[in-house]
Amino acid sequence: MKYGNKKTIIDGYKFDSKLEATRFLYLKKLLIAGTITDLTLQKSFTLQDGFIYNKKKERPITYVSDFYYKDKNGNEIVEDAKGFKTDVYKIKRKLFLFKYPHIRFSEVIK
């Protein structure tokens, strides 16, 4: 159990925390109501492409959001449910904001 989170399964999806599962239920209601569209879980974004250095392949750096969806105006939104912000998360968040300024980044904090 990472950071004291309790894994939860809803609709066949495994969530890393109760906070994330609760947020999914809320977003699911918005989806059903037609307030949001294109709800996607665990959408991956490339922050830096892979490359070759000294004949060695370096893997790309990616960020995986908890939720991705579009609001009623078609604006793209990424959400991350966080109880604790790791140093790696803070760096990836900044890289995401720089590379994808057209996507609204939202944090759901415990």
Domain boundaries, the chain: 2-109
As a whole number of angstroms, the distance between CA 25 and CA 5 comes to 17
As a whole number of angstroms, the distance between CA 6 and CA 31 comes to 25
pLDDT given at position 1? 44
pLDDT given at position 15? 87
pLDDT given at position 39? 97
pLDDT given at position 82? 84
Which secondary-structure segment (H or E) carries 45? Answer: strand 44-48
Residue range 2-109 in CATH 3.40.1350.10: yes
Which region, left, alpha or beta, applies to residue 95 given φ > 0 means left and ψ of -120 to 50 means alpha? alpha
Ranges of the chain with pLDDT below 70: 1-5
Cβ neighbors of 108 (< 8 A, separation 6 or more) are 19, 23, 66, 79, 80, 81, 82
pTM for the whole structure:
0.87
